[in-house]
Amino acid sequence: MGLNWRYLAHEVRPEYLREALAGARRMNYIGLNLTVPHKVLAMDLVDVLDETAETWGAVNTVQFEGRDAKGQWRPLRDYEDAPAETRSRGFNTDADAIPRAIREDLALDLNGSKVLLLGAGGAGRTAALRLAAEGVRELWMVNRTTPKAAAIGEEIRNRYPQTNCHLGYPTGNVDLVINATSLGLAAGDCLPFEEREFPLDRAGAAFDMIYRPVETPFLRLARVCGRPAANGLAMLLYQGAKAFEIWTGQPALIGRMREALEANIYG
Ligand code: NAP
């Protein structure tokens, strides 16, 4: 796209996140992405929260802004020389990537659907809230640490009362099962759910947030059961594409980004 920009990876300890954000601002970075375990911590560390970050309670994308001569805040990309006064604005591009990936990879309309969600960590919480906002009618949640799923259920009952939230496995069929646990990342990991509690042929489709390995035991089982299945690559792609659009102000080249991701992740 003719941008003389670089995207660099830095490993930062959570206790130094404040300093890292301040350093990036002082070095006039255009923006940055945050991943585990920084997304919730950053809510209190950025200067301004975009509506997306406020709604989903996590920041995965930061844009730096400068104040111009008229007192207006504008993205740093608009300036030839960075102004003296700058600030950070936090966004969340993860949440919208979830229904988009499910819609495009599995051709599934979540509105009015029944979903079993496995996992209630950071990604599980965002998924649960975003699915409820999308109009999922029945949502079952299963997590190793049940109180975490219960707390999310409570939040959904308050914010999205049209979604019926249940703890534990459904007794009947669901349209979709989502794995938002980290089970499947490591070789030899077990399934993220109890097959005797929920045989996978009761699910219409399977979505795993994990994208490496390309096929987890969960997705392999879905394939064996003849169920449509998708991994988390499109979710990763769409959150990145949205962040790219925030920083550049231009539409992302989704096809090129997908090719680059596939080449880098799967070789
Ligand atoms: P997290 O906050 O650390 O949550 C991890 C989740 O996995 C929790 O629900 C945890 O249960 C569960 N878990 C971990 N080890 C387990 C075990 N041995 N047995 C049962 N449950 C276990 O991580 P996260 O950010 O939510 O990420 C979750 C997954 O989503 C990861 O695999 C990550 O790679 C993937 N992800 C993908 C994308 C994407 O763009 N595709 C984006 C974000 C995350 P407890 O609550 O009981 O600890």
Residues of the chain with CATH 3.40.50.10860: 1-92
**Residue 119 CA to ligand 1 centre (angstroms):** 6
What is the architecture of the domain spanning 1-92? 3-Layer(aba) Sandwich (3.40)
Tens-place pLDDT, residues 227-250: 999 999 999 999 999 999 999 999
B/e letters for 94-123, b = 16+ CB within 10 Å, e = fewer, are bbbbbbbbbeebbebebeebbbbbbbbbbb
Tens-place pLDDT, residues 31-60: 999 999 999 999 999 999 999 999 999 999
Whether pTM exceeds 0.85? yes
Residues of the chain with CATH 3.40.50.720: 95-233
- Atom nearest to 189 CA in ligand 1: 18
Q: What is the mean pLDDT of the chain?
A: 97
Q: Which residue is closest in CA terms to ligand 1's atom 20?
A: 144
Q: What is the CATH number of domain 95-233?
A: 3.40.50.720
Question: Is 148 known to be catalytic?
Answer: no
Determine phi and psi for 160, rounding to 5 degrees: -135, 70
**Residue 179 CA to ligand 1 centre (angstroms):** 8
Probe target for ligand 1 pocket from 40, 181, 207, with the most ligand atoms within 8 Å of CB = 181
- Structure tokens given for 158: 């308050």
Residue 267 has pLDDT above 90, yes or no: no
Tens-place pLDDT, residues 95-145: 999 999 999 999 999 999 999 999 999 899 999 999 999 999 999 999 999
**Residue 181 CA to ligand 1 centre (angstroms):** 4
Please report the pLDDT score of residue 252 as a whole number: 97
